[in-house]
Amino acid sequence: MESLRGKVAIVGAADTEIGVVPQLSATQLYVNAAKRALEDAGITKAEVDGLITCNSFVEPYMYHAEMIAEYMQIFPRYCLNVATGGGTTLAILHHAAAAIASGMCHTVLITMADNMLSGLSRDRAIEAMSTAGHAQFERPYGPPIPAFYALIAQAHMHAYGTTSEQLAAVAVACRRHASMNPAAQMRDPITVDDVVNSRMIASPLHLLDCSLVSDGGAALILTSAERARDFPHPPVYMLGVGEGHSHEHISQARSLTTSAAKEAGERAYAMAGLGPKDIDVAELYDCFTPVVVIELEDLGFCPKGEGGRFVEGGRIELGGELPVNTHGGMMSHCHPGHPGSMFSVTEAVFQLRGACGPRQVKDANIAFVHAQGGIMSTHCSMILGKEVG
């Protein structure tokens, strides 16, 4: 396969208001994010010839990308709706990069949003949480989504001695970063004790081990590296990308403690010609705290089984060895469902632009972004850089 390294750049990035946004429907959030990204890139919608979305859970359409194009009166020659759970964001970027590199289109708008907090009733939210499992082998036993991730946490604890306090360190780091982000949904500092003493959701996961439920959206503009320098902001180049897909249902997983993030990361590193030690900042999918621990291991930032110890002592906080989720992540910034990891990409772009104020990572040149969907099922890793060379 021909490498995409350095052939495509992000030239526009924007977030909507997040948290509780009852004045905007899911569709309006998509469009709001798109308009902000177009403005950030300094272009008009007439210059967009590619559009990719992910269908809204709250306000779905059969042909979602075409519907957004119709709503915005954009007439693209490349139009796609992608759905791979939480890993959708980076899979979408992968598709967009391939389309640009192959000449299918020149300027791609990616927009994702949802209003999971204000748009879902409690009953519908519970239904969604309880119907994710396999109809024959999982749902009859009644586990909601947190229970599946609790299973993963228990397995890691059993195999490697990981503790609840170590898992809590992930939430504490995210909240510390969110406290420096005026856009974050939850900004009040928390401690390890706060996490482990919060209400039990699914043992060993407490309330503060779980991500938020939010409204919000984000959008990106991608174009070829050759054209990227003609835009207002310094381009952020795609240096490496890789995917890994291991299962759909957790009962069919090959392992509960090693995920397909390993393959995704290896492919991204190989394309970029880089390794874990080259990464300045990492934006990792954090729907539940044990996910970050396992991702850090599988992506090569620490040996397998060492993730719990790696997150202790501020090593993943600003000023530490590897700042993780500098915007607050889905634990504290926001999590509107499938679009959750879009904010990881926009944060990586803002970090590489040096535009993050008090949460800015000093001399950030290389960012690693990882997203996963399902129950540790489908993974995509991406390495972004300020320079191609």
pLDDT tens readout for residues 334-354: 999 989 999 999 999 999 999
Burial of 230 (C-beta count, 10 Å sphere; 0-12/13-18/19+): exposed
Cα 148 versus chain centre, distance: 19
The C-alpha angle with vertex 179 and arms to 129 and 162, in degrees rounded to 5, equals 55
Query: Considering the domain boundaries, does residue 42 fall inside one?
Result: yes
Query: Considering the domain boundaries, does residue 71 fall inside one?
Result: yes
User: What confidence score (pLDDT) does residue 1 get?
Assistant: 56
The answer to whether the CB of 359 falls within 8 A of the CB of 326 is yes
| pLDDT (mean) for 307-324 | 97
Residue 139: which pLDDT band, with cuts at 50, 70 and 90?
confident
User: What confidence score (pLDDT) does residue 89 get?
Assistant: 86
Query: Considering the domain boundaries, does residue 189 fall inside one?
Result: no
The answer to whether the CB of 300 falls within 8 A of the CB of 345 is no
Query: Considering the domain boundaries, does residue 55 fall inside one?
Result: yes
Query: Considering the domain boundaries, does residue 101 fall inside one?
Result: yes
Least confident piece of the model among 25-34, 97-106, 124-133? 124-133
| Report field, pTM of the whole predicted structure over 0.75 | yes
CATH of the domain at 41: 3.40.47.10
Q: How far apart (Å, rounded) are the C-alpha atoms in residues 377 and 87? A: 9
Rounded (to 5) percent helix, strand, coil in the chain: 40, 20, 40
141 or 324, higher pLDDT:
324
Q: How far apart (Å, rounded) are the C-alpha atoms in residues 36 and 124? A: 30
Query: Considering the domain boundaries, does residue 149 fall inside one?
Result: no
Tens digit of each residue's pLDDT (9 = 90 or more) over 23-59: 999 999 999 999 999 999 999 999 999 999 999 999 9
Query: Considering the domain boundaries, does residue 35 fall inside one?
Result: yes
What tokens does 203 get? 């043992």
CB atoms under 10 Å from CB of 4, counted, come to 19
**At residue 16, does pLDDT exceed 90?**
yes
Query: Considering the domain boundaries, does residue 384 fall inside one?
Result: no
| Domain residue limits at 111 | 8-119+213-228
User: What confidence score (pLDDT) does residue 83 get?
Assistant: 81
**At residue 389, does pLDDT exceed 90?**
no
The number of distinct structural domains making up the chain is 1
Count, residues in the chain? 389
Taking CA atoms, 93 is separated from 102, 156, 205, in Å, by: 14, 31, 32
